[in-house]
Copies of this chain bind each other. A is one copy, B any other.
């Protein structure tokens, strides 16, 4: 290190946050940011901060050498190098809650290394954000509002998300992002260690990001190249799926990668155009093998993350050693360690399993949050509905109950209800018509009010018009009222000319969206989340195909997924080109193929999909059959887009299975951040804009011309 003349040569270089009583009497040199300065007569106190914590530095003008002069304008965030001698604080000045609270440094010299523009664009926030349900949260006086949604906006005093992204370098300097990035790093390193060490013994392989354009899935970013004819492009991969399957054919029996992936989608909330997956694949593996690996790896990763979170928090506030008992530690943890991170320790492997069917029927979602009730069930015994159902087999109804105590505190206006219903019905596929009905019972248990959703299908409306008292009682009974004051949300679905599954899923999903909306509006979701901060389990037995916009079959996940063994025969016999199947009934019907289950599994956590995986097709003939005769891709396109994969499968590729977990989402859940942006160093806005650097930008026409491209004027 270059010597600065003003510094004493013997000074020992230390981190601010690590100066403790063992160093009393030692001359030290420290570097960091001026956090605060306070003047008391002849004394100047400087709180100096670095990544490890804060240190109190004292300048005594009365004792100082006349030759020395301390700059007067030590604004906050000035970067300085100081030297001085570590002294024990007087007992009355000891700060038990600070790691360095027993000492201070008597300043001997100070050098300004860099001065900030004053004032800084946003304050550098040294506090962690209050967590829901903690003392610090209570002090923020929003705890009485049981159902308040926690977003960054409710924490007053913090800069807005937009301002934070514009001045990300200052935002990163604050405690919240410092903690989040360190925890994320420790999480990934924990996962990597578990994967690379015995017994798992995975090999990390970096796969190309300059990939080939493919026709499947969401939109991909193109990367033009000057090699080849004009219009020749690479594509940025949406996942390393094909490469990892090639690695399986290549005998890398256990592969993993922390992989950057890309998706060019129009601004979906809380999505990023580039994101990170923990991606792995194993030869000779079953679904259970993969799930076991993930359970082990997550355990190790989260342990690493929690250790880092604790370490970081102790740099801000430590618990007094004199009262280092369990109660105090528990209170400290509640304040500083996000609840899901604490709760993970109690999750036992193997995680729970739920079938796709159960998830849909009970929660109307393939990624349900099971922590709050309002489970859905079939409605039977309301004669108008029973009659309608008897007349059509494509008709069904399900409902969930809002318990009386919750219902009494939540009385949405017609407008609020209609918005909720409209949003629940917004994604219903065209084959199905779904009506949404809310029913309230009175304190005597009678039907008190009945509200229909917006523009329900005509055949559903009349059913609820002008009910007589008997019918009202019948409806309340059919819904399964348990106590006076219960309310219900019911969905009725009509679907004709479509396979059974399409109608059922449409009904369940619409009611499931209503369930989430009611859970959020009533605060039940937040309440349950506080009581049980982590809800993690596998969803299995997904349908292999779904209906596309033109009634064609398309893969629910991707075309490389293996069906259950018992379904392979049906699949192999199917040919989508046999259009007139009724006349020529040799093969299975589309409806039968829609019932095929895939060996696919999703990991679901707190109502979000953390990731998904599957056993893959390892047989070239079966894979070709799926492309050609189920998905209806032409031979020519199969060869152009998937020829390399088919060749690899045909080269003696072992059976294999894998999974990919979303690292951003996992971190956001564990750290309870309102958005994934808070666990990414330089996130992009919803429109794909990076407020700090201004990317993307309009490039000069000459730059495009290099690639033989022209922009439309």
**Interface residues in chain A, defined as those with a beta carbon under 8 Å from any beta carbon in chain B:** 1-2, 31, 33, 50-51, 77-79, 81, 113-117, 120-121, 167-173, 177-178, 181-182, 185-186, 188-189, 192-193, 196, 203-213, 219, 221-236, 242-243, 246-247, 249-254, 260, 262, 264, 266, 273-274, 276, 283-284, 286, 288-289, 565, 618-619, 640, 643-644, 647-655, 680-682, 684, 687-690, 692-699, 701, 703-704, 706-713
Beyond A196-B189, A243-B681, A709-B709, is A31–B116 a contact (Cβ under 8 Å)?
no
Say yes or no: A651 contacts B77, CB within 8 Å.
yes
Asked if B708 contacts A709 (CB within 8 A), the reply is no
Q: Which residues of B contact A115 (CB under 8 A)?
A: 652
Question: What B residues does A186 contact at CB under 8 A?
Answer: 196
Q: Could you jot down 24 A-B contacts, CB within 8 Å?
A: A1-B289, A79-B653, A79-B655, A113-B654, A115-B652, A168-B250, A169-B246, A169-B247, A169-B651, A169-B653, A170-B249, A185-B205, A189-B196, A208-B274, A210-B684, A210-B696, A212-B690, A213-B699, A228-B696, A230-B711, A233-B699, A234-B696, A235-B699, A710-B712
Q: Indicate whether A681 sits within 8 Å of B212 (C-beta atoms), given known contacts A196-B185, A204-B189.
A: no
> CB distance B250 to A173 under 8 Å?
yes
A-B contact sample (20 more), CB < 8 A, given A189-B193, A222-B704, A709-B710 = A79-B653, A79-B655, A114-B649, A116-B651, A121-B651, A169-B651, A172-B249, A181-B203, A182-B203, A207-B681, A208-B274, A208-B690, A223-B236, A230-B713, A233-B698, A233-B699, A242-B693, A246-B692, A252-B681, A643-B694
Choose one: B116, B251, B618; the contact of A652 (CB below 8 Å): B116
CB-based contact A232/B709 at 8 Å: no
B231 touching A701, Cβ below 8 Å: yes
Known contacts: A229-B698, A711-B709. The answer to whether A208 contacts B682 by CB under 8 A is: yes
Contact B228 A698 (CB under 8 A): yes
- Please indicate the chain B residues that have their CB under 8 angstroms from the CB of A170 in the complex: 249-250, 651
Please state if B252 and A655 are interface contacts (CB–CB under 8 Å).
no
Question: Which residue of chain B is the closest to A304 with respect to CB atoms?
Answer: B196
Instruction: For A114, list chain B residues within 8 Å (CB).
Output: 618-619, 649, 652-655
Pairwise interchain contact B181-A252, C-beta atoms closer than 8 A: yes
CA distance A173 to B249 in the complex (A): 8
Q: Which residues of B contact A288 (CB under 8 A)?
A: 1
**Of the residues B643, B647, B695, contact of A211 by C-beta under 8 Å:** B695
**A208 partner residues in chain B, CB cutoff 8 A:** 274, 682, 684, 690, 695
Are A652 and B33 within 8 A (Cβ)?
yes
CA distance in complex: A644, B231 (Å) = 33
In Å, the complex CA distance between A67 and B208 comes to 49
> A286 is contacted by which of B2, B618, B655, B701 (Cβ under 8 Å)?
B2
Indicate the member of A186, A230, A284, A695 with the most B CB atoms within 10 Å.
A695
Q: When chains A and B are docked, how far (Å) is the Cα of A465 from the Cα of B436?
A: 102
| Distance to closest chain B CB from A240 (angstroms) | 10
* A120 lies within 8 A of B168 (CB): no
- Which 5 A-B pairs rank lowest in CB-CB distance, beginning with the nearest? A172-B250, A231-B711, A116-B652, A212-B695, A77-B652
Partner of A193, one of B193, B254, B687, B709: B193
Instruction: Flag if B230 contacts A203 (CB, 8 Å).
Output: no
Q: By the criterion CB–CB under 8 Å, are A251 and B172 in contact?
A: yes
Q: Which chain B residue has the least Cβ–Cβ distance from A691?
A: B644
Residues of B with C-beta under 8 A to A221: 210, 223-225, 234
Q: Which residue of B lies closest to A704 (CB)?
A: B231
Q: Point out the residues of chain B lying under 8 angstroms from A235, CB to CB.
A: 695, 699
List the B residue with the shortest CB-CB distance to A286: B1
Which residue on B lies nearest to A205, using beta carbons?
B681
Residues of chain B lying within 8 A (CB to CB) of residue A177: 250
CB distance from A55 to the nearest CB of B (A): 14
Give CA–CA (A115, B651) in the complex, Å. Answer: 7
A711 smallest CB distance to B (angstroms): 3
Please indicate the chain B residues that have their CB under 8 angstroms from the CB of A693 in the complex. Answer: 211-212, 242, 644
A77 cross-chain contacts in B, Cβ below 8 A: 651-652
Instruction: Tell me if A284 and B196 are in contact (CB < 8 A).
Output: no
A193 to B196, CA, bound (A): 11
| Cα(A654)–Cα(B251), bound, Å | 47
A213 to B700, CA, bound (A): 10
Whether A252 and B189, one on each chain, are in contact in the complex, defined by CB atoms closer than 8 angstroms, is no
Please tell me if the beta carbons of B1 and A699 are within 8 angstroms of each other in the complex: no
On whether the beta carbons of A273 and B210 are closer than 8 Å, the reply is yes
Query: Contact: A696 with B232, CB < 8 Å?
Result: yes
> What's the least CB distance linking A294 to chain B, in Å?
16
Complex contact A225–B264 (CB within 8 A):
yes
Q: How far is the CB of A47 from chain B (nearest CB, A)?
A: 15
Q: Tell me whether B697 and A708 are in contact (CB under 8 A).
A: no
Q: Give the distance in Å from the alpha carbon of A680 to the alpha carbon of B250 in the complex.
A: 13
A54 and B542 alpha carbons, distance in the complex (Å): 38
Instruction: Report the separation of the CA atoms of residues A177 and B236 in the bound assembly, to the nearest whole angstrom.
Output: 25
Contact of A234 among B120, B204, B225, B695 (CB under 8 A): B695
Q: Which residues of B contact A192 (CB under 8 A)?
A: 189, 192
Q: Which of A193, A235, A253, A681 has the most CB of B within 10 A?
A: A681
Query: Which residue of chain B is the closest to A707 with respect to CB atoms?
Result: B222
Closest chain-B Cβ to A567's Cβ sits at a distance in Å of 13
A509 CB to nearest B CB, Å: 29
Name A173's closest neighbour in chain B (CB-CB).
Answer: B251
B contact residues around A117 at 8 Å (CB) = 647, 650-651
Q: Please measure, in the bound complex, the distance between the C-alpha atom of A33 and the C-alpha atom of B249, giving whole angstroms.
A: 11
